[in-house]
Every structure is written in C-alpha cells, then in structure tokens.
C-alpha cells in the first residue's frame, strides 16, 4: 500500500458533533459534549484518528461511517493480534467496497519480536497479514515445544522481511527529523560494602556454573533478584549526594531505578522536592505528578518506568536487564524535555 500524506487536522471522536452543537447552541441552550464523549455526527465523511480507550464503546457506531481513511496512532499498543483493541481496530475496516486509506503510526520502537508486526500488517491489508501461523513459521522461527504449543518468540529470514516491508513502511530516525542537543553518558563509580561485593561475585559464579540449576533446569532467579536489590540499596548514599549537587544548581533530575526499595529511600531523602511514580501509582494520578515535576524547578523524579519529561539530568542508578530499555529511557526524556523543530 503506498504511503500517502495525512491531512493536518483530523477530527477525533466527537469533534464534528461538538462543532455541530456549538452552531446550534443559541437555539437549544445546551452545552456541547466533550469532543471525546461521542463518535462523529451522522453524515461524517472525514478521517478518523483511533483512540483505543474509546474504541470498544464506539466501534459499532464508527463502522457505520464511510470514512476515506483511518489513522491508528501509537500503534505499538496493537502488537498483540489477539488483544481486544487489535480486534476492534480490525473491525473498523470494511470487508466490502473500496478500501480506506490506513496509516499506522508509532514513535516508539518495536524492540521485541517480528510477531509484533503482524497485527499492523493486518490493518494495512498486506499479504503477510493473512495468516499468523504462516507468518510465524517464515519470520518468527516458529516451532512446537514438547507440549505441542507453538513458540513464536524467535526471528528468522529478517532480511527477506525487511524487503517485504519496503513498499509499505516509512521509517525515520530521530537525527533525520529532529534537531536535538547531544546526549552525554557518564559512568559514576560507587563504593559498595565488601559483603555486597561478595554476594555479587557469588551470583556471577553461579551464573557461570552450567550445573547450577534446579530440578526443572531453571536458574534461581530469587538469588539474582536479592543481589540486585542489595546492590541498589548500597548505591543509594552516593546517588543522593550526586542528585543533591544537581538540584543545588537548579537543575531537574529524573532517576530511573529497577528497585522500589531504593526509590523509597530516595523519596525519604528529598521529601517535598521529590516526585515519585511507580507501578503502584494509579494512571489517574500520574499526569498531575508529571505536571508538578515539570512546573517546578530543582525537583527530582524517581521512577522505575521509561516515561519522558522535561529534564536536564537523567540518572540510571541500576542497569536494566534489557539494554534497549536503558537507551530508550534516555532518548524519551531527552526528546520530550527539549524544544524541537520537526520537518
């Protein structure tokens, strides 16, 4: 499917209905509904940008419109082709008649597996999106395990897949579309107690020992987790000292940590100047915390997740087991924290 330009202003759910009610408010005297409350009014013929949170509620109403095009933004949320939002997204596209133009957009790298591309190929009606099993056998190194279940987490024939995607995928690197300041990475050496170093060494020896497995052939993940937690806590005093220096200079700091124990210690140390977001914070409260961090100067943001905000310093005090997560956390906060011009 050829790539086509998207109009500058595309109505979201309820925008057309909002404008219609605005024009007739003098007669009815009623306040218009929020532009995210309802699907477009009858007779709508424009493009639709899909909001996955509202899709389940309005999918039947949206299917009634003869829309010339759909935009599936933040498409990395559709990487599971069996998920409900993926099924509802496919249901929007008509089975008969002229096919609409479909744009699938994402600025978040799909860092996992080729199978994550399959639901996106389904949306653009690519031939590779017809059968998941056929796709998995060809490009996901699919095979059956001892219990007869298909394993599709691998990758195979990647160069061929890349060629197949050339006609439908438009990829741009950040350095091609943005003007960002250089990002600097600095390693900070920390001293930890000898007892913690000894435990880390024991874990390293354990990982190198091929015979150190339990009866099911698995590693003792609990031992590794305990060692990582103790190391994170041991590095906290020096981390506090470094962060305090940045805050004293009026700079903002985002602290990424895999350890909730360490985050609690940082929160106690910095009290009112610290904004903390963990998995325990409800989604309804997160935006208010983000706004508090961005509106104030000399604040610290502690988080185990990779969310981007305005910041001058980003400190990763515990190495994630997935190196790509480290890279993405830095990219995300740098991207959102800078005023950039896009082409």
pLDDT in tens, the chain (343 residues): 333 333 334 444 433 333 333 333 343 344 444 444 577 787 888 898 988 888 888 888 888 888 899 999 988 889 888 888 899 999 989 888 888 999 999 877 666 689 999 999 999 999 999 999 999 999 999 999 888 899 998 999 999 999 999 888 888 877 777 777 777 777 778 888 888 888 888 888 877 776 666 544 455 677 778 888 888 888 888 888 888 888 888 788 888 887 788 888 888 888 888 888 877 788 788 788 878 877 765 466 666 544 444 444 545 455 555 555 556 655 555 555 544 333 3
DSSP strands (E only) in the chain: 48-49, 69-72, 101-104, 143-144, 150-151, 253-256, 274-276, 300-303, 313-316
Residue-by-residue DSSP string for 81-124: TTSHHHHHHHHHS-SSSSPPEEEE--SS---S-GGGGHHHHHHT
Q: Is the dihedral of CA 301, 303, 309, 315 positive or negative?
A: positive
Tokens of 167: 């006609």
Q: What is the DSSP letter of 185?
A: -
Q: Are 279 and 304 in contact (CB under 8 A)?
A: yes
DSSP lists the bridge partners of residue 48 as 70
* Residue 2: predicted pLDDT: 35
Length of the chain measured in residues? 343
Rounded CA separation 236/34 (Å):
46
CATH for 174-188+236-343 is 3.40.50.300
* Residue 321: predicted pLDDT: 54
**CA-to-CA separations, 9 to 6, 47, 102, in angstroms, rounded:** 9, 9, 16
């Amino acid at each position: 499917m050829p790539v086509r330009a998207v109009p500058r202003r595309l109505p979201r759910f309820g925008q057309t209905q909002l404008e219609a009610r605005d024009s007739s408010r003098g007669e009815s005297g009623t306040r218009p509904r929020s532009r995210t409350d309802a699907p477009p009014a009858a007779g709508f013929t424009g493009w639709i940008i899909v909001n996955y949170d509202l899709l389940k509620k309005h999918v039947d109403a949206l299917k009634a419109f003869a829309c010339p095009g759909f935009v599936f933004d933040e498409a990395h949320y559709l990487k599971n082709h069996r998920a409900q939002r993926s099924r509802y997204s496919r249901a929007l596209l008509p089975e008969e008649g002229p096919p609409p133009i479909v744009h699938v957009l994402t600025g978040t790298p799909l860092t996992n597996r080729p199978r994550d591309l399959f639901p996106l190929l389904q949306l653009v009606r690519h031939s590779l999106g017809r059968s998941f099993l056929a796709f998995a056998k060809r490009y996901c190194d699919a095979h059956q395990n001892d219990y007869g279940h298909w394993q599709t987490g691998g990758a195979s024939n990647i160069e061929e897949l890349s060629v197949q995607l050339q006609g439908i995928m438009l990829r741009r690197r950040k350095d091609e579309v943005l003007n960002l300041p250089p990002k600097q990475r600095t390693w900070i050496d920390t001293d930890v107690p000898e007892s913690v170093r000894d435990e880390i060494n024991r874990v390293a020896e354990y990982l190198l020992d091929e015979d150190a497995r339990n009866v099911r052939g698995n590693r003792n993940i609990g031992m590794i987790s305990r060692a990582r937690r103790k190391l994170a806590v041991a590095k906290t005093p020096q981390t506090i000292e470094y962060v305090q220096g940045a805050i004293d200079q009026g700079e903002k700091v985002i602290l990424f940590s895999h350890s909730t124990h360490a985050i609690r210690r940082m929160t106690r140390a910095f009290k009112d100047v610290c904004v903390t977001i963990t998995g325990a914070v409800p989604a309804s409260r997160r935006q208010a915390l983000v706004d508090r961090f961005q509106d104030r100067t000399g604040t610290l943001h502690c988080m185990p997740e990779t969310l981007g905000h305005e910041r001058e310093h980003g400190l990763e005090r515990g190495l994630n087991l997935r190196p790509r997560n480290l890279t993405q956390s830095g990219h995300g906060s740098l991207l959102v924290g800078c005023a950039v011009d896009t082409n």
